[in-house]
Amino acid sequence: MISYKEFTRRFGASLFDAEFQAFLTNTFSDLTEYNILESDYITSNETGLEIGFTNNDAEYDEDDKVIFRKGNPIFSHFVAYPKSAKLIGEFPFETTFTDTRDKIIAKAGNPTRTNEGFADFLDRKYLVDNYKVDDIVISFDYNAEDETINFIQMRENNLTEHLKL
């Protein structure tokens, strides 16, 4: 098992860096290929983890599905789903996927920011609590009805300006 800190300490690593590639190869057996036209994530269905990248150097045309320059994908965020508890043995604030929002707030304190509302494109309510710890943002995305965890995202605080806490 790996701590979430093992992942966050690798933020800033290039996808093409040999050490980061070795970490990925030694940790996962089923990662998808990185393809910026499809997503900024590579995923592991086996472990329930999505590993996200920021790639400001890439040049591509989404409509025509053409990559002009692949750029340099930099590891900057990841999403853990309940299945990932088999790989990640320690989550922030000693939370588990069985915790409800009330229990997380009891463990972590009041969130730095809460986002809630209705997403028309998903046709459902959303509820997300964000915590800032050092330069890492930890987001708990809840089922808005029963306030159980859907997923936990961790990202560098400087990932994108509109997400900065």
Residue 63, CB half-sphere, CA atoms under 13 Å: how many? 0
Is 122 among the domain residues?
yes
Give the pLDDT band (50/70/90) at residue 164. Answer: low
What is residue 119's DSSP assignment?
E
Q: Where is the domain boundary, 40, 61, 90?
A: 90
pLDDT tens digits for 42-100? 999 999 999 999 999 888 888 888 888 889 999 999 999 999 999 998 999 999 999 99
Which pTM does this prediction carry? 0.89
149 vs 19, 36, 145, CA distance in Å? 32, 28, 11
Based on the structure, what is the number of domains in the chain?
2
Domain around 105? 96-154
Is 104 among the domain residues?
yes
Write down the residue that tokens 């809840």 correspond to.
142
Give the pair of three-digit tokens for residue 88.
């990640």
Shared-domain flag, residues 45 and 119: no
Shared-domain flag, residues 48 and 117: no
pLDDT tens digits for 12-44? 999 999 999 999 999 999 999 999 988 999 999
Shared-domain flag, residues 72 and 127: no
Q: Where is the domain boundary, 47, 70, 90?
A: 90
Q: How far apart are CA 15 and CA 70, in angstroms?
A: 12
Shared-domain flag, residues 73 and 121: no
| pLDDT reported for residue 111 | 97
Q: Where is the domain boundary, 45, 65, 90?
A: 90
Q: DSSP for 34-79, please give it.
A: P-TTT-SEEEETTTTEEEEEE-TT-EEETTTTEEEE----EEEEEE
Q: How far apart are CA 51 and CA 75, in angstroms?
A: 7
